[in-house]
Chain A
Amino acid sequence: MTELTELTIHEAYALLKKGELSSVDLTQAYLDRIDVLDGRLHAYLAVTSDETLEQARRADERRAKGEDDPLLGIPVAYKDVLCTQGVETTCGSKILAGYKPPYTATAIDKMEARGAVMLGKTNMDEFAMGSSTENSGYGVTRNPWDTERVPGGSSGGSAAAVAAQMATAALGSDTGGSIRQPASLCGVVGLKPSYGRVSRYGLVAYASSLDQIGPFSRSVADAAVLLGAIAGHDPQDSTSVDMPVPDYIAALTSDLKGVKVGVPKEYFIEGIDPAVERIVRAAIDQLKELGATVQEVSLPHTDMALPVYYLIAPAEASANLARFDGIRYGPREQGDTLWDTYCQTREAGFGPEVKRRIMLGTYALSAGYYDAYYLKAQKVRTLIKQDFDAAFEDVDVIACPASPTTAFRIGEKVDDPLQMYLSDVFTLALNLAGNCGISVPCGFDDDNLPVGLQLVGPAFGEERILRAAHAYEQATEWHKRVPVLSG
């Protein structure tokens, strides 16, 4: 029999429904595995063991009373940027050490209403700023495929937990690629919903015009279920859009007849790992075999996405992170004056990358530089969105790599911020344009490191990308490979 921790949501659901498995047993299997493996991988910042098992017991009771839901009793993990009432939420930052939120994020409330069981909170780059999880204030997470390598970031803990079977699924957040890039580097499915699809209430803000919460899973069908659970309007987030949530499972098909796939020529550029290019191009050929038509498209301002992102996101971050001052919560470094208290608390509490982005954003918004940097970036952002709008007049879905490389070595890029920023060169533009995107496993390089195919849809086109990703996944075996791990 398959190990319990290998089961997808759909596989576990089938057993739970038939009464052949209890949530308590399934949950305990995950807690045992976390106990064995997480000392080495460090995907979790906190495991909520007792409360976890209590939730599993309640889920079994609900099922015994006749409740039926694919998520009822499924053990999942949440990125530590999502507020959980009474459970420490640090965002990977020392400045929030010990912080226990007085309320829970809407996305998690919705998961809990469906009966999902929380295993714990996952590691991340501090305040979701980074592409390797090395910027966590609490130590790096290791990639389950090669523990000398990074899991990607910023949702590296969520990606590694799902890849290493330390959670059936997880939630993360994606501001410039923080779901899709770690999903690609860890060989799991990761979906960034369209801006406005999922409520951001209780998601600690990094860049509010770009942030979205989305799922990690070991199958596309699981991602469809999770998205259906967390999507929808929330009066607590005025940017969550009031439009119906479709039945994402109903959108899944095994063929792609009639689907038009665009391949952006600007995404196959110098600097891309040749193995990644070869593997992603082979995956695109597979889409053709499934009945899709494939054509080249152009997104002319692609090379501007990185500079636009690294002005807009830090500018928003510098404003959002102004609230962390040691007055109402978090550790305080008491200075002689209030001013000193602010400056010393922030100096001690924030790590290098967060300070770098606060500095960059403060500069881009400061008197005399606002027009040249921030306003200019907002204008080019308009052009980037127009590129996608034009492309989606011709095609249904855009296919490209999720990351220019496979997982890189721990420490390889920490001293060169610009090189690190280039890790997100294929994912940033979507956030700027508000589109949705998914990374689905599409092969392995010569070092047995996973590669992700990114499928991009227009805003609120999640059914299209889920359909394409599911058909591809069903026609291939990549998602069935698992990393070999021992305690």
Chain B
Amino acid sequence: MTLSLEQVTHIAELARLALTDEEKERFRDQLSAILDYAARLQEIDTSAIPPMANVLPVDTVMRDDVARLGLPPEQILANSPDQEDNMFRVPVILE
């Protein structure tokens, strides 16, 4: 098994997923199988090969700094599960 239950628990924390114990076991097995399959990449010598993040050259695009209207606050907040005084309401962060 490529992954341990402890590793799966750690990844779930990083990914902000409150997985059940059953899900952790299933993902340990399934992700291990996928990673074992992916191990075939190690057969290829890539020491002289540059990595590719995107097929196109990714350039920073500049535009003129011209003021323009954004969306109105009520439209931005329209989908929010909880709001107050034109703000998103969230649970307490600091006690």
Which A residues lie at the B interface, using CB under 8 A? 98-100, 102-103, 195-196, 209, 235, 238-239, 241, 301, 303-304, 306-308, 310-311, 318, 322, 325-332, 334-344, 346-347, 350, 352, 355-356, 358-360, 362-363, 366, 372-373, 375-383, 385, 417-418, 421, 433-434, 459
Check if B14 is an interface residue, CB within 8 A of chain A: yes
Q: Chain B residues near A459 (CB, 8 Å)?
A: 55
B76 part of interface (Cβ distance < 8 Å)? yes
18 A-B residue contacts at CB 8 Å?
A99-B79, A102-B79, A307-B38, A326-B81, A328-B79, A332-B81, A336-B91, A342-B16, A346-B17, A355-B23, A356-B30, A358-B15, A360-B35, A362-B15, A363-B31, A378-B53, A383-B44, A418-B33
Q: Complex Cα distance A308/B50, Å?
A: 15
Do residues A358 and B80 form an inter-chain contact, with CB atoms below 8 A? no
Q: Which of B35, B46, B55, B93 contacts A380 (CB 8 A)?
A: B46
Known: A304-B41, A326-B81, A356-B31. A343 touches B56 (CB 8 A): no
Alpha-carbon distance A377/B79, docked complex (angstroms): 37
How long is the Cα–Cα vector from A377 to B50 in the complex, in angstroms? Answer: 11
With the chains together, A322 CA to B14 CA distance in Å?
10
Cβ B58 vs Cβ A239 within 8 A? yes
Q: Is B90 an interface residue (CB 8 A)?
A: yes
Q: When chains A and B are docked, how far (Å) is the Cα of A323 from the Cα of B82?
A: 17
Nearest-neighbour CB distance to chain B for A408, whole angstroms, equals 19
Complex CA gap A80/B88 in Å reads 26
Beyond A99-B79, A239-B58, whether A417 also contacts B30 by CB under 8 A is yes
Q: Taking the complex as formed, is B86 at the interface, i.e. its CB lies under 8 A from any CB of chain A?
A: no
Q: Measuring CB to CB, which residues of chain B are less than 8 angstroms from any residue of chain A?
A: 3, 7-8, 11-12, 14-19, 23, 27, 30-31, 33-35, 37-38, 40-42, 44, 46, 49-56, 58-59, 61, 63, 71, 75-76, 78-82, 88, 90-93
Instruction: State the CA gap A362–B12 with chains docked (Å).
Output: 8
Interface of A is mostly: helix
Chain A: minimal CB distance from B58 (Å): 7
Q: Which of B30, B35, B80, B91 interacts with A338 by CB under 8 Å?
A: B91
Q: How far is the CA of A383 from the CA of B12 in the complex (A)?
A: 32
Chain B residues with CB under 8 A of A338: 90-93
| CB <8 Å contact, B56 and A195 | yes
CA distance A272 to B11 in the complex (A): 35
A327 touching B88 in the complex, CB below 8 Å, given contacts A241-B56, A355-B23, A362-B15: yes
Task: Say yes or no: B78 contacts A375, CB within 8 Å.
Answer: no
Which chain B residue lies CB-closest to A309?
A: B38
The answer to whether B79 and A329 touch across the interface, beta carbons within 8 angstroms, is: yes
Q: Which of A102, A340, A343, A363 contacts B78 (CB 8 A)?
A: A102
> Closest CB-CB distance, A313 to chain B, in whole Å?
12
Cα A341 to Cα B58 with chains together (Å): 35
Of B19, B41, B46, B54, the residue contacting A347 (CB under 8 A) is B19
Closest partner residue, chain A, to B72 (CB atom): A102
A residues near B76, Cβ cutoff 8 Å: 102, 328
Within 8 Å by CB of B71, from A102, A301, A417, A434, lies A102
Q: Do A98 and B55 touch across chains, with their CB atoms under 8 A apart?
A: no
Cα–Cα distance between A381 and B51 once the two chains are bound (Å):
7
Name A376's contact: one of B11, B46, B93 (CB within 8 Å).
Answer: B46
Give the complex CA separation of A209 and B53 in angstroms. 7
- Tell me if B15 and A378 are in contact (CB < 8 A): no
How long is the Cα–Cα vector from A385 to B52 in the complex, in angstroms? 9
- Given the complex, which residues of B lie within 8 Å of A196, measured CB to CB? 55-56
B41 contacts A377, C-beta separation under 8 Å: yes
Shortest A262–chain B CB gap in Å is 20
Complex Cα distance, B44 from A207, in Å, reads 24
B16 to chain A, nearest CB (A): 5
